[in-house]
Chains A and B, each alone.
Chain A
Amino acid sequence: MSDQTEAVVDTVPAAARQVSENVVLQLDKIHTFYGAIEALKGISVDVHQGEIVTLIGANGAGKSTTLKTISGLLHPKSGEIRLLGEVISEMKVHEVTAKGIIQVPEGRRIFPRMTVEENLEMGAFLRSKDVEGVKSSMAQAYDLFPRLKERRMQKGGTLSGGEQQMLAMARGLMAAPKLLMLDEPSMGLAPVIVELIFETIKTLNAQGITILLVEQNAAMALQIADRGYVLETGSVVLTGPGRDLLHNEQVRKTYLGES
């Protein structure tokens, strides 16, 4: 089966690379294990400057494992992860964060007893010397999410789910990320809100932020993504421009619930 996988990957045309030659993040044949279980079986993913790249796949396909491996929570047994050419696969979480890969974790995980503003300040934890930059980042975050500005003195835990997702994203932006990784941003949100969140992701991207998006909501993710990778049991089975994948028969059947 893995032979077949490789074949699919290889047949993907270079079209996907046309967005930009400037590779921000590169996963090179990553193998990650949970004990004896091989969760990632040689995954290769590229993210280029200014792109939205999405990883889609069913539960247990390895999407979250991939993010965890990038962010340094897990370390690959073999293979390399490079950020702007620098190998980061052996770094710890806070080191990866310091390098500019910011993860907006699954389930939002804002600081519930800190105010909105304190949450944002925490997001700039590693930029403590860049007072001016932090100020302007905060202004930007409030511009992007006026709702958060209204509630800046409110406790994070008192926000609605959608607002919390916004806060989590805004907090991620406060770190001035080179790459923003969003883990299931649509999780547990009402459809209207999900749309709003995805609109915001597009806006962020239009402002020049490179995004790696992990989603179960494949239809939404592929609509906004420049490129997508379809994961299945720890391998990339399909990759290509978002729209192509959206119209790919196999994808439609398996992930978009069409027969």
Chain B
Amino acid sequence: MAGSKMDIRTNVQSKGWSRGKIAFAIFLGVLVVFAPVLLQGFQTMSFFVRVLGIIGIYVLLALGLNIVVGYAGLLDLGYVAFYAMGAYAAVILGEKFVTAVQMISNVGLRDFLVSSQFIVMLPVAAIIAALTGLALGTPVLRLRGDYLAIVTLGFGEIIRILATNDFLGLTKGAYGMMAPVAQPLGLSQLQLLPVAIPAIGFNFIFSVNLYWYYIVVLLIVLAVFVVRRLDNSRLGRAWVAMREDEVAASSVGVNIMTSKLWAFALGALWGGLAGVVFANAQGFVSPESFTFMESVFIVTMVVLGGMGSIPGVIVGAALIAGIPEMIRGVAQSPLLAGVIDPTLASAISGYRYLVFGLLMVIMMAVRPQGMIPSTRRAQELHPEDEKVLEEEDQSLWDLKHGADRSEHDL
């Protein structure tokens, strides 16, 4: 397919990066790496680091779901199931791994393995989540649209309910489970490097929250890289074709079944990874973290940000995960101590979902293609050409009787 020649997005994506774009990317990179250090250093702001970690996990989830919803065009309302699979896999198998390496007599090696257990669990959970994706994908392949959404919704609930009911004695039910190890690899060494500038109240200690923030950022970078490659791949083109017209896609030789299964598996994988980070960062996993509401949020992030658009999805996730947490965080933070009455603050944070719902309604009415839409997706939702609409509105009668006016102007 020789580079860009056969690249179906050639005409849509701008080639190369302008100088401004590069500068912006560097600025963003510096911000992502160093801003949390500053936040961590000032005690009143340190809660933001935790919020950023949470946002990061949702960004990862949204990037994963974007493969299923944005690229393959399959509405999955049970994505949280893969997140749950990853989290529980991390806890259950992580525990087993830790127990197993206790046998090792070499203390140094043993400690190293124990503290790096989550790194081992990342690929394991990713594979488990991907297999779960296949397990869900296989029976629902023939379903489309609403029906698919309903089945995936049910699937998400099944996973949560299995966890709540201590399935096979694995999950300890509603009590939840503790993550195996508190101190992840290298954290204690990093904590030996405190930086303090007492004059301005800066006192930096490498916190657990900061550690997991950086881990999740690394995973996001990996996800963006992989997803971009996917988008421009043969599979990516198959998805575009499938989204536009399944019959036409299969008539040019796209295997609809495997394309959908790949979407489910490759989407689920990131859910699994996010689950591992969540379980270890939180130190605790219980079924109530994986409710239907979570799935709805993740779908909302993708839709609001812009289906099929990587920057869109990231911004969507950052806003939707971030705004409620920020409101809560700010309302309870010492920053506002004395400014706002604590009871009023918590009352405000109680309304956060109302504000948020209102935003969503406005957004969908004004800009249904999302905040940063993918070029191709925008066309699908806003057919700028009347002909496209005309085609779609054409009835069978029109077709059979040649009533389409556009035919005569060839």
A residues near B (Cβ < 8 Å) are 71, 92-94, 97-98, 102-105, 107, 109-115, 117-118, 121-126, 128-129, 131, 134-135, 147, 153, 155, 157-163, 171-172, 175, 187-190, 192-193, 196
- B211 smallest CB distance to A (angstroms): 43
CB pairs A–B below 8 angstroms (13 shown): A94-B254, A97-B250, A109-B248, A112-B245, A122-B241, A122-B249, A122-B252, A125-B237, A131-B6, A158-B387, A159-B387, A161-B404, A162-B407
B106 CB contacts on chain A under 8 angstroms: none
A159 CB contacts on chain B under 8 angstroms: 387
Task: Find out whether the CB atom of B2 lies under 8 angstroms from the CB atom of A131.
Answer: yes
Task: Find out whether the CB atom of B238 lies under 8 angstroms from the CB atom of A125.
Answer: yes
Q: Is residue B247 contacting chain A, with contact meaning CB distance below 8 A? A: yes
Task: Find out whether the CB atom of A113 lies under 8 angstroms from the CB atom of B380.
Answer: yes
Task: Find out whether the CB atom of A188 lies under 8 angstroms from the CB atom of B398.
Answer: yes
- B383 smallest CB distance to A (angstroms): 7
Q: How far is the CA of A135 from the CA of B247 in the complex (A)?
A: 25
Q: How far is the CA of A124 from the CA of B401 in the complex (A)?
A: 32
B237 CB contacts on chain A under 8 angstroms: 121-122, 125
Which of A103, A107, A122 has the most CB atoms of chain B within a 10 A radius of its CB? Answer: A122
Taking a contact as CB atoms closer than 8 A, the residue among B249, B399, B409 that contacts A187 in the complex is B399
B residues near A (Cβ < 8 Å) are 1-2, 5-6, 8, 11, 234, 237-238, 240-241, 244-245, 247-257, 376, 379-380, 383, 385, 387-388, 391, 398-402, 404, 406-410
- A106 smallest CB distance to B (angstroms): 9
A172 CB contacts on chain B under 8 angstroms: 251
Given contacts A157-B387, A188-B407, 6 further A-B contacts (CB under 8 A): A94-B254, A97-B250, A104-B251, A109-B245, A157-B383, A157-B385
A175 CB contacts on chain B under 8 angstroms: 252-253
Q: Given known contacts A107-B399, A157-B387, A187-B400, is B5 in contact with A131 (CB within 8 Å)? A: yes
Task: Find out whether the CB atom of A157 lies under 8 angstroms from the CB atom of B410.
Answer: no
Task: Find out whether the CB atom of A105 lies under 8 angstroms from the CB atom of B402.
Answer: no
Q: How far is the CA of A234 from the CA of B185 in the complex (A)?
A: 71
Q: How far is the CA of A105 from the CA of B249 in the complex (A)?
A: 11
Task: Find out whether the CB atom of B380 lies under 8 angstroms from the CB atom of A188.
Answer: no
A155 CB contacts on chain B under 8 angstroms: 379, 385, 388
Task: Find out whether the CB atom of A123 lies under 8 angstroms from the CB atom of B388.
Answer: no
Q: How far is the CA of A86 from the CA of B356 in the complex (A)?
A: 61
- B234 smallest CB distance to A (angstroms): 6
B391 CB contacts on chain A under 8 angstroms: 112, 157
Q: How far is the CA of A154 from the CA of B5 in the complex (A)?
A: 17
- A87 smallest CB distance to B (angstroms): 19
B401 CB contacts on chain A under 8 angstroms: 188
Q: Which residue of A lies closest to B403 (CB)?
A: A188
Task: Find out whether the CB atom of A160 lies under 8 angstroms from the CB atom of B399.
Answer: no
Q: Given known contacts A107-B399, A109-B248, A125-B238, is B253 in contact with A158 (CB within 8 Å)? A: no
B8 CB contacts on chain A under 8 angstroms: 114, 118, 121-122
Q: Which residue of B lies closest to A187 (CB)?
A: B399
Taking a contact as CB atoms closer than 8 A, the residue among A98, A114, A117 that contacts B240 in the complex is A114
Task: Find out whether the CB atom of B402 lies under 8 angstroms from the CB atom of A97.
Answer: no
Taking a contact as CB atoms closer than 8 A, the residue among A94, A114, A188 that contacts B399 in the complex is A188
Q: Which residue of A lies closest to B378 (CB)?
A: A113
Q: How far is the CA of A104 from the CA of B252 in the complex (A)?
A: 9
A111 CB contacts on chain B under 8 angstroms: 240-241, 244-245, 248
- B42 smallest CB distance to A (angstroms): 49
Q: How far is the CA of A131 from the CA of B248 in the complex (A)?
A: 22
Q: Which residue of B lies closest to A73 (CB)?
A: B250
- A126 smallest CB distance to B (angstroms): 4
Task: Find out whether the CB atom of A112 lies under 8 angstroms from the CB atom of B388.
Answer: yes
A105 CB contacts on chain B under 8 angstroms: 247-248, 251
Task: Find out whether the CB atom of B388 lies under 8 angstroms from the CB atom of A71.
Answer: no
Task: Find out whether the CB atom of B251 lies under 8 angstroms from the CB atom of A128.
Answer: no
- A193 smallest CB distance to B (angstroms): 6
A104 CB contacts on chain B under 8 angstroms: 251
- A78 smallest CB distance to B (angstroms): 25
Q: Given known contacts A109-B248, A113-B380, A189-B402, is B240 in contact with A94 (CB within 8 Å)? A: no
Q: Which residue of A lies closest to B379 (CB)?
A: A113
Q: Which residue of B lies closest to A128 (CB)?
A: B1
A162 CB contacts on chain B under 8 angstroms: 407, 410
Q: How far is the CA of A125 from the CA of B242 in the complex (A)?
A: 12
A94 CB contacts on chain B under 8 angstroms: 250, 253-256
Task: Find out whether the CB atom of B252 lies under 8 angstroms from the CB atom of A118.
Answer: no
- A93 smallest CB distance to B (angstroms): 5
Q: How far is the CA of A20 from the CA of B407 in the complex (A)?
A: 37
B252 CB contacts on chain A under 8 angstroms: 97, 102, 122-123, 125-126, 171, 175
Q: Which residue of B lies closest to A186 (CB)?
A: B402
Q: Which residue of B lies closest to A112 (CB)?
A: B388
